Structure 1
């Protein structure tokens, strides 16, 4: 399910010109595949790497959501 959602977001990112999210989504796809491989083959290093990446990915997504909702001190307006 997670892989399908990332692939869908990757398609929408290709419609725009934001290359950083495209690269981040590509890295996420690779790590999800390695995490699935590590789970099937029981490779603790892959599972640990996937768990660390998942925490970073969720943290980043929460930050982006809070930024766009302007929660707390986060604001899209730049004051000079």
Structure 2
């Protein structure tokens, strides 16, 4: 649900990379749910890896905006 909200707000601006990232995230979440319901291990593995990368990216962005460490350089 949060990804859909973020998608709407990104459409208001000119940042197309986050829009494509959010769209890809929504697709992977749908595939992950499908893999869980149908028990398809490959989909579940892809969803797990994607979720880990997505969380790491969001943590990086948060640290970047808060200027944690030397990220502002």
TM-score by length of structure 1 reads: 0.90
Task: Choose between structure 1 and 2 for higher RCO, CA contacts under 8 A separated by at least 6 residues.
Answer: 2
**Count, aligned residues:** 73
2:21 is the counterpart of 1:24? yes
Determine the structure 1 residue equivalent to 2:64.
Answer: 67
Moved over 4 A (4+): none
Task: Quote the RMSD (CA, aligned, Å).
Answer: 0.7
Could you list the runs of 5+ residues in structure 1 that have no partner in the other structure? none
Once residues 69 and 52 of structure 2 are traced to their aligned partners in structure 1, the CA distance between those partners, rounded to angstroms, is 22
